[in-house]
Structure 1
Amino acid sequence: MESISLDDNLILRTATADDREEVAEFNSVVMAEPPEMTPEPEIGDWTRDLFDGVNRRVGPSDFTVVEDTKTGKIVSTIVYISQVWNMGGVDVPMGMPEIVGTHPDYRRRGLILKQFDVMHEWGKERGHLFNTVMGIPYYYKQFGYEYALDAWGGRATSRTALAGVLEKKDSKPPFTARDAKRSDVPFIAKTELHSHQRLFVTAVRDAKIFEREMFGCREGSMVAYRVRILERDGEPVGYYIYDVPTKRDMIRVDSLEITDNANWLDATSSMLVDLKAMAEEIEPVGGGKCEKIEFEFGSEHPALNMFDTQFGAAKSSYAWVVRVPDVAALVSRLTPVIEKRLAESDLRGWSGDLKISFYRSGLQMKFDGGKLGAVENTGSIERHDAQALYPDLSFTKALFGQHSFTQLRDMYSDCFTHKRSHHVLQDILWGGQQASGVLPTN
């Protein structure tokens, strides 16, 4: 990308390897949270990892920076992280604008918008069918994003609440636990695929991705994951991924997966016993005890059904914001998922033209004997010609399984169908509310 001249002696350009330390230090400071405004060194290390190629799809040229030519300082920056996510068994190329920040003195000048324009163009060139980002509430909606994928939901408990996991005080858990080694990576990658059967949206992670995130990241990086292997008689039967934040006053569990020859009760009880022992060994910065344990693998995870009081209270979820630049292209990509849902429904074999209105634009789909043919974006569809109507970007919520059409109908008065059968069809095609579990990757 050639440098772009902006107002007030600012230029927008791609980063180079020489920018690594300045961008890393900038990100660690500009991402500080009020009111303490304490620098976030883990974000700085994440930045360095991305510059250094811990993600084989990302390098210095995937960062945009805005530089003030008067001072020579970087005042705003974003990185575009190319990834593949899986939706219902279908791999979908996508991209994440991340580590988005502007120096306070340069905010409200449209610098992020200009960088997002560049990144969205990169996404188009790379064949990405959607974008996601997570961060400041509401902020990204002004760039065409909509909250559409739950994240960080689950439960929060205390170290002491895990005392009653095993039925007898002196009994041992079904599985032992140990730190993962490089030789465990193929097992972890294979076992992770089980989550694709249970969850609608996941991030695709092969053995190389796991190895780099486990052993290629700086220890303090925000996305350097620690993994514990669960074993039965010396054979691995599962794993869980966790993180200990900088203050070391809590443990966050991001993932728990098992093989076909293990069950969730044995795995969950073994993990909880291991977490309690781990929490008792951790020494928080500033003294005290590591008391809090959070489970951020989603409120629908099977492990949460295995115990009641031990998992503590429900933890409110946040959400990924999602942008779909070409709705027809993504829907077409999901043809196998849509046809399978229809074939297994009360409307199997359905034929007809389906027009969906988004009020200012629309989508037209043609079905023949339950098979999806042409899918086209349209302009505005007249209200009486549409079989279903979704206001603004609410269709994204249905497409990504955050809410069913029935739920959206209750949420938005201008989301509706003219016929009951069309209402039923919408819940079938988009699958209704579905559990997802996207563990952020580098």
Structure 2
Amino acid sequence: MREQFDVLHRWSEERGHLMQAIGGIPYYYRRFGYEMAVYMGHGHRIYVQDVSGKPSSGNEGEGSPRSYTLRPAAASDARFLSELNGRGRGRYLLTSSRDEGLWRYEVAGRDPESDESLEVRIVEDAKGEPAGYLCHARDLRNGALEVYGYELASGLSWLEVTPFVLSELVEIGHKRASGEEKLASLTFVFGDQHPLHEVIQEPPLYRLDRHDHYAFYVRVRDLPGFLRHIAPVLEQRLAASVAAGHTGKIEVSFYDGGLRLELERGRLSGVEDWIPTVEERGDAAFPDLTFLQLLFGHRSLDELDSAFADCSPGEGDARVLLRALFPRRPSDLWPVC
């Protein structure tokens, strides 16, 4: 297995990849330089009995709610899908980029029998204009119809559209049911910042595995190089903080190694490997690979401080700077495979 990872890492480096991520069993991938550092949510569930029927569309001229339906997406919808998905990605730190070509593949290129194949549908208003999109599994899984993507165009009310979407999903789920498996619920595998979680409160929307904090394993071979690559983002965060325009340095210890970050008038002027000593222990310390949890927004500085006795989040300027540079941010990875 180690030889396989060596080959994989070599191929990734040849392609210019700065990081790798994998979802897998507990602990195992730590052996190969990985740390759980990007949230992997199990989603939320609403039971069928809690989904009301379609709202009455009434007469739009009288100010009654408009009506919405779902239709199968076509390859010609790729631009709409890509643009809408791009806007939704703005809620998150890490997402999967899906261009028009990839959406055409999702809609018309995948083998329908593939485990990764989804049904992509367009949300349409009463005039047949596209209002959003929805992606769901082709079959029920343990009595649930799983939904992996849901976005609406700008200017539309999630409160108004969502009841129609839920009702149509229930109809689809019932059609997918068999004699042995009936539709019991809809599950939504979205990031925590998705608008659906605000539109439908808990209950009737329930978090699955509410005590499970599982995450994607992440590996960054060249940490200084990665930080230099994302320097524009770090500088934007600094500019929006109380440390805008700051000049100074932060020495971060990993006990058997570390980093030195140099700032000049709010710009990241240098990032280099650094080795702590007995005399120079650094401004902050993170054991093993836990710094990756901070880097990818999975845990805040204070959360790491509480979770690890040998984590030292720093004091004074260093603590303020680390909080500004590495805030807790949600991610939503929809794997491209």
* TM-score of the pair, normalised by structure 2: 0.90
CA distance in 1, matches of 2:279, 2:334: 39
Alignment correspondent of 2:146: 252
Equivalent positions of 1:161-310 (< 5 A) are 161-163=50-52, 166=55, 174-232=67-125, 233-245=127-139, 249-284=143-178, 286-308=179-201
Matched, 1:136 2:25: yes
Letter in 2 for 1:234: G
Alignment correspondent of 1:409: 305
Contact 1:238–1:267 (CA<8 Å) still a contact in 2?
A: no
Cα pair distance change 1:272/1:377, threshold 3 Å: same
CA distance in 2, matches of 1:381, 1:225: 53
Q: Residue 334 of structure 1: which of 220, 230, 244 is its match?
A: 230
CA distance in 2, matches of 1:315, 1:375: 40
Contact 1:185–1:211 (CA<8 Å) still a contact in 2?
A: yes
Alignment correspondent of 2:292: 396
Choose 226-235 or 310-319, whichever is displaced more: 310-319
CA distance in 2, matches of 1:224, 1:282: 15
* Structure 2 gap segments, 5+ residues each: 59-63
Alignment correspondent of 1:37: none
CA distance in 1, matches of 2:149, 2:215: 17
Alignment correspondent of 1:436: 331
Report the Cα offset of residue 244 of structure 1: 3.4
CA distance in 2, matches of 1:296, 1:376: 38
Q: Secondary structure at the match of 2:193?
A: coil
Equivalent positions of 1:99-118 (< 5 A) are 112-118=1-7
Report the Cα offset of residue 268 of structure 1: 2.5
Report the Cα offset of residue 154 of structure 1: 2.7
Cα pair distance change 1:195/1:168, threshold 3 Å: closer
Q: Secondary structure at the match of 1:329?
A: helix
Contact 1:357–1:381 (CA<8 Å) still a contact in 2?
A: no
Q: What's the RMSD between the two structures over aligned residues?
A: 2.3
Choose 375-384 or 397-406, whichever is displaced more: 375-384
Report the Cα offset of residue 382 of structure 1: 4.9
* TM-score of the pair, normalised by structure 1: 0.70
Q: Deviations over 1:392-430 (max 9, x none)?
A: 111111111111111111111111144233222211101
Report the Cα offset of residue 356 of structure 1: 0.9
CA distance in 1, matches of 2:29, 2:279: 29
Report the Cα offset of residue 325 of structure 1: 0.6
Contact 1:175–1:266 (CA<8 Å) still a contact in 2?
A: no
Contact 2:237–2:325 (CA<8 Å) still a contact in 1?
A: yes
Report the Cα offset of residue 297 of structure 1: 0.4
- Structure that is richer in strand per residue: 1
Contact 1:165–1:310 (CA<8 Å) still a contact in 2?
A: no
Report the Cα offset of residue 280 of structure 1: 2.1
CA distance in 2, matches of 1:381, 1:251: 55
Q: Secondary structure at the match of 2:259?
A: strand
Greater relative contact order (CA < 8 Å, ≥ 6 in sequence): 2
Cα pair distance change 1:211/1:236, threshold 3 Å: same
Equivalent positions of 1:366-385 (< 5 A) are 366-380=262-276, 382=278, 384-385=280-281
CA distance in 2, matches of 1:292, 1:416: 44
Cα pair distance change 1:383/1:136, threshold 3 Å: farther
Report the Cα offset of residue 196 of structure 1: 2.6
Q: How many residues align?
A: 328
Alignment correspondent of 1:119: 8
Report the Cα offset of residue 376 of structure 1: 1.3
Alignment correspondent of 2:254: 358
CA distance in 2, matches of 1:183, 1:268: 24
Contact 2:91–2:193 (CA<8 Å) still a contact in 1?
A: no
Report the Cα offset of residue 288 of structure 1: 4.0
Cα pair distance change 1:319/1:136, threshold 3 Å: same
CA distance in 2, matches of 1:195, 1:381: 45
Q: Deviations over 1:9-65 (max 9, x none)?
A: xxxxxxxxxxxxxxxxxxxxxxxxxxxxxxxxxxxxxxxxxxxxxxxxxxxxxxxxx
CA distance in 2, matches of 1:182, 1:418: 52
CA distance in 2, matches of 1:246, 1:315: 17
Cα pair distance change 1:381/1:428, threshold 3 Å: farther
Equivalent positions of 1:57-76 (< 5 A) are none
Alignment correspondent of 2:38: 149
Report the Cα offset of residue 216 of structure 1: 1.3
Choose 275-284 or 121-130, whichever is displaced more: 275-284
